Chain A
């Protein structure tokens, strides 16, 4: 048995407490019983002594004659069996004695004599006569306020001591036996209570990253252990999910990288199989370069996201005049939109919209969104960027702990606003709406997932890494904002970005 085990400790405590209780109870029982037995003896001695005293002082009594036994029997019809009686005169000389004393005298102590002469009753236990102790009462008899004689009545304590000894033996035998049995029982109970814990331990030990789909078997009864099991299972589920996500992410990333690698390797190998004209080599090199760019983009984006994941990216936040900022960006993007003859327009109702952001990341965010719009809009379409302020809090501002954690890690110097504070926040709302192909309902929530592509072939042709929107989402959330999409297939998509206004952040900045 392991002495550090909970099972041992539980049993030990159980036995210890039970032992203390049993010993206290036994002591109490023993003491109470012995006191009551002794008192009983004293009581009987005294009442007999009183009887004899009253008899001896009675004027009608024939106390002066014959032996005491006969006198008592004659006058009171009393046969004091087992009681020794001895009458002393006031100076302590022994007078008459009961028959059963024969030639023996009851011992009388100095203390009793002294008490007796003062008229006080004395109880004594004497061990000098034989093997058994005697309980003796020395009862002074007063006549006319004068102690005339002392009556001693004694009784053997053998019965009492026998009874007490028997009780003691019973207690000494039974208490340890009960404790032994109790310790076994306690062990059994502890075992029974802790068995599920062992099972939890076993299952938990077997679970590795390879078999996270396993769960600990739940109990029918809802107790502490079953709560523990539930908690464990929930934890395993969460682990399972994050492992799955990581696995999916790694698989996706490797697939994304394998395609350009396959093309590079294949094109070069085929090219090298024979001599070719110069222009063919040029074509192949150009195609290779495209693939290398694609790979660089994927690697760059992956690096950015993994840094963002572990919170390694710090934002250099400053006051950004959003209206001016986006106008500037749009001018640059118009060059990209020209070949497809796509118009980009800005509509802003408020001129002074400031946010507190990292210029570089904000650029990346809006370039990504506008580029996406250009990619998925047919020639001749348009992209409309709307800038407004929004006072109402967006619908899901009650962030869950996971989201809050993500924001905390991603956030710069400003902490996440709690939902209470958020109510007061006014947001800059930026809508990038295109007239493109749109996104099917079932894909809308997935488009921010890493490597998710609505149309794989199309997106590759456009040179995307499949991570652009994931990065947008990260940027927005790192700025305590949120990004959503509304789309109707065939009509176009609107990406809605909400960022807290700088004015609000500045007012509250001191508090953070």
Chain B
């Protein structure tokens, strides 16, 4: 899952990025409204964390412009503005959730998970496909009775697959949602990681879940396409 953090206070942006990355999310940061808006337009984010008092383009305008671009990405506003009017204004301008500073990081992470879940029809807090289970809260992945150990990137990749089951995912889609913008698209990193993941979740299990669609990408599905 790829998240954009728009926050002008570098230290705040940094600890949010660090905390999110340790939860296996891919995180980009923007230090002002203008670059934030630009990045949200060129990349396909699964969530945007937005501060309201940011230079160049104010947070509320970033919100309104994102929504007027028909971009339905969930937006979590994190701000020091804490009056009732501010919260109402923020929610009415198009954000999906509103968190006031200073905040509990645990609560922040829970809200991030809730927003990522909300986008999907399936609102169950556990992701499940056949006998493969992934819990975004505990990061535990099990297949059948067996617990599977994954690296951070493998976990991110699997979460993306499991949030989009039975759907063909191109290499570009995968790289955009699992890696941050430092990702070099000229390499075959995606294929390498998909192979790592395949070894861990499919080897020794039936049915196979990860299938290659030649020339296009991959699909996570219990049925052979």
Interface residues of A (CB under 8 A from B): 254-255, 258-259, 261-267, 269-270, 273-274, 287, 291, 455-457, 460-461
Contacts and interface: CB of A to CB of B under 8 A. Distances in A.
A455 to B, nearest CB: 7
Give the interface centre of B9, B15, B16 by most chain A CB atoms within 10 Å.
B15
Contacts of A455: 55
Given A457-B8, A457-B55, A266 B16 contact: yes
A12 B104 CA distance: 71
B104 A269 contact: yes
B19 A266 contact: yes
A189 B107 CA distance: 68
A262 B9 CA distance: 10
B105 interface: yes
A25 B106 CA distance: 94
A463 to B, nearest CB: 12
B205 interface: no
A258 B11 CA distance: 13
A265 B8 contact: no
Contacts of A291: 11
Given A269-B106, A457-B8, A457-B9, A262 B80 contact: yes
Nearest to A259: B9
Interface of B: 8-12, 15-16, 18-19, 22, 31-32, 53, 55, 80-81, 101-106
Contact of A263 (B15, B104, B106): B15
A265 B102 CA distance: 7
Contacts of B104: 265, 269
Given A266-B12, A269-B105, 5 more contacts: A261-B101, A262-B80, A265-B104, A267-B11, A455-B55
Contacts of A457: 8-10, 31-32, 55
- Going nearest first, the 8 A-B pairs with the smallest beta carbon separation are A269-B105, A270-B19, A262-B102, A262-B101, A258-B80, A266-B15, A265-B102, A261-B102
A63 B19 CA distance: 147
Contacts of A274: 22
Contacts of A264: 102
A264 B11 CA distance: 9
7 contacts: A254-B80, A258-B101, A259-B101, A263-B12, A265-B104, A267-B15, A273-B105
B105 A266 contact: yes
Contact of B53 (A261, A265, A287, A456): A456
Nearest to B14: A267
Contacts of A460: 9
A266 B102 contact: yes
B9 A263 contact: yes
A460 B32 CA distance: 15
A263 B11 contact: yes
A255 B80 CA distance: 6
A336 B67 CA distance: 47
Given A255-B80, A259-B80, A455-B55, A265 B103 contact: yes
B55 A270 contact: no
Given A266-B102, A456-B55, A457-B55, A287 B18 contact: no
